[in-house]
Homo-oligomer: A and B are copies of this chain.
Amino acid sequence: MSRLKVLFHVNENPRWPRVIVNVQNFIKDVGQGQADIEIVANGAAVTAYGSGPEEDLHREMQELAALGVVFAACRNALNMHSLAEKSLPAYVRVVPAGITEIAKKQSQGYAYIKP
């Protein structure tokens, strides 16, 4: 089977833990480095990238980023929630519009999953 490519879409903050567990289990199942994985956050979900009490979540994100998982943030959503791009963790990639990113990735063969 060809290499799996998967995009996870998260637009609500309470869904983040579920997204993280889904990605962790997915990597455990297919093996490290065996799939292309990207998480696109838009809407209120981008606020989880900001500094705050979510230390456990940030640690888990960082561990996944170190395994090659791409974390993207929608610039429109960052602006709406007054989050400065320079305040984000280094592994977060800002995209002009989350929807465009999601559409492009699917056109490139990524599966879409909304946990």
Tell me, rounded to whole Å, the shortest Cβ–Cβ distance linking A3 to chain B.
9
**Which residues of B are found within 8 Å of A65, using beta-carbon distances?**
none
**Distance in angstroms between the alpha carbons of A19 and B90 in the assembled complex:** 29
- Chain A residues with CB under 8 Å of chain B are 1-2, 4-6, 9, 11, 18, 22-23, 25-26, 28-30, 35, 42-43, 74, 76, 96-100, 102-104, 106-107, 109, 111-115
Residues of B within 8 A of A115 (CB): 11, 43
A29 and B76 CA atoms in complex are apart in Å by 10
The 7 closest A-B pairs by CB, nearest first: A106-B111, A29-B97, A26-B99, A103-B111, A25-B76, A4-B103, A6-B103
